[in-house]
Structure 1
Amino acid sequence: MCHMTACSLLSYIAIAWMKMVPMQTIRSRVQFFKISALSLVFCVSVVFGNISLRFLPVSFNQAVGATTPFFTAVFAYLMTLEREAWLTCLTLVPVVAGVIIASGGEPSFNLFGFIMCISATAARALKTVLQGILLSSEGEKLNSMNLLLYMAPMAVVFLRPATLIMEENVVGITLALARDDIKIIWYLLFNSALAYFVNLTNFLVTKHTSALTLQVLGNAKGAVAVVVSILIFRNPVSVTGMLGYTLTVFGVILYSEAKKRSK
C-alpha cells in the first residue's frame, strides 16, 4: 500500500506539475473497468505472493515465479490470440519442468504456500497481459505514466482492506519501530519511491517489447534472488532442487535466444 501511495503521488507530480507527459483522461466505462481489473489483479498477485513467503523460502518462491512466462503466453493467446513462434513455446518447457523438479526436491515444501505462489504467479502474468492491452490498444491507449497514475490509487483502495485484515495495528508497530530506530522511516520512503520507478520501467518495457519478454527478463532477477536468498537465509536446498533451479534458468536463456531468432 505504501508503494502504490508513492506511485499515486509521484505520478501526479510528474504529469500535473512537471508536465513530463500530457495528462490523458479515461474515455469510457470499459476503459475504467479494464484499469480497475488491472489494479485488482496486481493486488491479488502482491497479497498472494506475500502470503506464500510465510510458508516457502525465497529461493523456492523465485523458482516458482520463473513459470510466469508460461502463464503469460497462455493468457496472451486467450485474450489477444497472440501466438508465439513454436520454438519460443518449446523453450518454456524446461522453465516449467525445472519448477516441477524443484518442487519435488524442496525440503521446505508447503502445499498451501505453493498454491498461493502459483496463484500469485498466474495473477502477475495476467497483469502483464492486461497492461500490454491498455498500453497498445487503439482507441483506449494510455501512455505508461498515465496508466500508473490511474492504476495506483485504485490499487491503494483495494489494498486497504487487506492491510487492515492481515496487519492489525501496522501503523502503531511502525511508529514503535521508528522510536527505536528512525532509519526505518527513511527505508520505507526510499523503498516506496523506488517502487514508482520499478512500475514505470515495467510499463515501458511492456510497451516497447512484449508482455512475455518482460516476464522472462524478470527471471534473470529471480535467478540472482535464488542464490542470494540461499546465502542470506541459509535455507536447506537439495541436489534435486538445485537441478530444477538450473534447468529453469537454462530455459530462460534458451527463450532469449529463440526471441532473437524469431525477430
Structure 2
Amino acid sequence: MDSRINTDISPYLSLFAAISYGITSMAMVFINKAVLMQYVHSMTLLTLQQLATTLLIYFGRVMGYTKAKGLNMATAKKLILVSIFYNANVAFALASLKGVNIPMYIALKRLTPLAVLIAGFCTGKERPSTQVTLSVLLTATGVIIAALGDFSFDLFGYSMALISVFFQTMYLVLVEKSGAEDGLSSVEIMFYNSFLSLPFLLFLIIATGEFPNSLSLLFAKSASLSFLVILLLSLVMGIVLNYTMFLCTIVNSALTTTIVGVLKGVGSTTLGFVILGGVQVHALNVTGLVINTAGGIWYSYAKYQLKKSKQPKLMSDVEAHRK
C-alpha cells in the first residue's frame, strides 16, 4: 500500500474505521464462540462465512451496488497462497475456540509478533528495536504464566491456537514479501480471498470428515430460532469484520489496525471472564494475562514510536525531492 498520508481522508472516516474495526473484531470472537458451543464443526462454519462473502460481493457487483472488478486469473494466481495461509489461520483459530476460553485464546494469539520476529531473523530481515524485542518477550512470558494457572487447560485447543499463530505469521510475511494486494480495493481483496478459499475449504471439510454430517447437523440445529439467529449473525459479522479490517488499514495504516487489535484484546480479555463462562479465575492466570496485555500494549507503543521516528526522515526526503 502507498505509505504516503492521504490528506483527503476525513478524520471522522478514519475514526469511524478504527472504532468499527475494534467493535466488530471484539464481537466476532464472542459470536464465533457462542456458535461453536452449540455447533462444533468449525471448518464448515468458516466455509459458510467465506461462501456468504463471495456471493454477496458477486451479486453486489452484478447489480451495480459495488464497482469491484471481475475475476482476473493473473491476480488470482498471485493471491492463492495468501488465501490458503489466511484461511488456515482462521480455521485453526476457530478450532482452538472450541476448547480454549476467550482470555487464553487472545493471549495465545498475541504470540504472533514473537513468531514474526523469529521469521524475520530466519529471513535475514532488519533487526527489531530493543523495545519491540522486550515487549514481545514480555507477551510470551505472560502466556506461559497464564497457561500454568489455566485449570481448564485443553491441549488440543492450545495446539490449534499455536498452529493458527504459525499460519498467521506465514500470511503476514507472504503479504509483506509479495505485495500482492497492491492496487486492489478492500472489497476486491475480500472477494479474491473468499473465492480462492472455497476449493481449499471444501477439500478440508471432506478430508476431516466434517461433511456431510456437519450439513445434516446444521439443518437440525437451524430448527432452533436462537441458534439460527447466532449463525446468521456470524455469517454477516464475518463479512463486516473483513471489510472493516481492510478499511481501517486503507484509510489509516497497518499500524493503526494493529493497535486497535491490541486494545480490542484488552476489552475481550476483560469481558471473557464474565461472558460465556469457561474461565476459572486464579492468581496465576490473571497475573499472566495482565503481563500478556501489558506486553501487547508496549509492543504497539514501541511500533508507534518507531513509525514516528521515521516520519521526519520521510518528510526531509520529500522536501529534498521538491527542491
Residues matched between the structures, number: 255
| C-alpha distance 5-125 of structure 1, shift in aligned 2 (>3 A) | same
| C-alpha distance 127-205 of structure 1, shift in aligned 2 (>3 A) | farther
Task: Work out whether residues 24 and 142 of structure 1, in 8 Å CA contact, stay in contact via their aligned partners in 2.
Answer: no
- Unpaired runs of 5+ in structure 1? none
Task: Work out whether residues 39 and 154 of structure 1, in 8 Å CA contact, stay in contact via their aligned partners in 2.
Answer: yes
- Unpaired runs of 5+ in structure 2? 1-46, 309-323
The reply on whether 1:170 has 2:224 as its aligned counterpart is no
The reply on whether 1:115 has 2:159 as its aligned counterpart is yes
Counterpart residue number, 2:50: 4
The reply on whether 1:134 has 2:180 as its aligned counterpart is yes
Bigger mean CA offset, 56-65 vs 103-112: 103-112
Letter in structure 1 aligned against 2:186: S
Counterpart residue number, 1:185: 228
Bigger Rg over Cα: 2
**1:88-137 Cα distance to aligned partner (Å, 9 max, x none):** 3332221122112212222222333322211112212332343453223x
| C-alpha distance 256-47 of structure 1, shift in aligned 2 (>3 A) | closer
Counterpart residue number, 2:202: 160
Alpha-carbon separation, structure 2, partners of 1:93 and 1:239: 21
Secondary structure at 2:94 match in 1? helix
Secondary structure at 1:237 match in 2? coil
Alpha-carbon separation, structure 1, partners of 2:219 and 2:68: 38
The reply on whether 1:145 has 2:191 as its aligned counterpart is no
Bigger mean CA offset, 226-235 vs 147-156: 226-235
Query: Normalising by the residue count of structure 2, what TM-score does the alignment of the two structures yield?
Result: 0.68
**1:24-51 Cα distance to aligned partner (Å, 9 max, x none):** 65363xx534411122112222222233
| C-alpha distance 217-89 of structure 1, shift in aligned 2 (>3 A) | farther
Question: Aligned to 1:227, which of 258, 270, 274?
Answer: 270
| C-alpha distance 244-11 of structure 1, shift in aligned 2 (>3 A) | same
**1:191-214 Cα distance to aligned partner (Å, 9 max, x none):** 21221121122233444523x664
Question: Aligned to 2:89, which of 26, 31, 45?
Answer: 45
Task: Work out whether residues 103 and 109 of structure 1, in 8 Å CA contact, stay in contact via their aligned partners in 2.
Answer: yes
**1:127-183 Cα distance to aligned partner (Å, 9 max, x none):** 2343453223xxxx433221211110221222223334235422222222233x335
Alpha-carbon separation, structure 2, partners of 1:27 and 1:47: 25
Counterpart residue number, 1:195: 238
Alpha-carbon separation, structure 1, partners of 2:268 and 2:297: 16
Secondary structure at 2:287 match in 1? helix
| C-alpha distance 219-19 of structure 1, shift in aligned 2 (>3 A) | same
Alpha-carbon separation, structure 1, partners of 2:124 and 2:62: 33
Secondary structure at 2:181 match in 1? helix
| C-alpha distance 36-223 of structure 1, shift in aligned 2 (>3 A) | same
Counterpart residue number, 1:17: 63
Identity among equivalent positions (%) equals 23
Task: Work out whether residues 69 and 216 of structure 1, in 8 Å CA contact, stay in contact via their aligned partners in 2.
Answer: no
Letter in structure 2 aligned against 1:158: F
Alpha-carbon separation, structure 1, partners of 2:257 and 2:119: 14
Alpha-carbon separation, structure 2, partners of 1:234 and 1:256: 29
Task: Work out whether residues 41 and 126 of structure 1, in 8 Å CA contact, stay in contact via their aligned partners in 2.
Answer: yes
Counterpart residue number, 1:54: 98
Instruction: Please state how far the C-alpha of 1:70 moved relative to its aligned partner.
Output: 2.4
Query: Normalising by the residue count of structure 1, what TM-score does the alignment of the two structures yield?
Result: 0.82
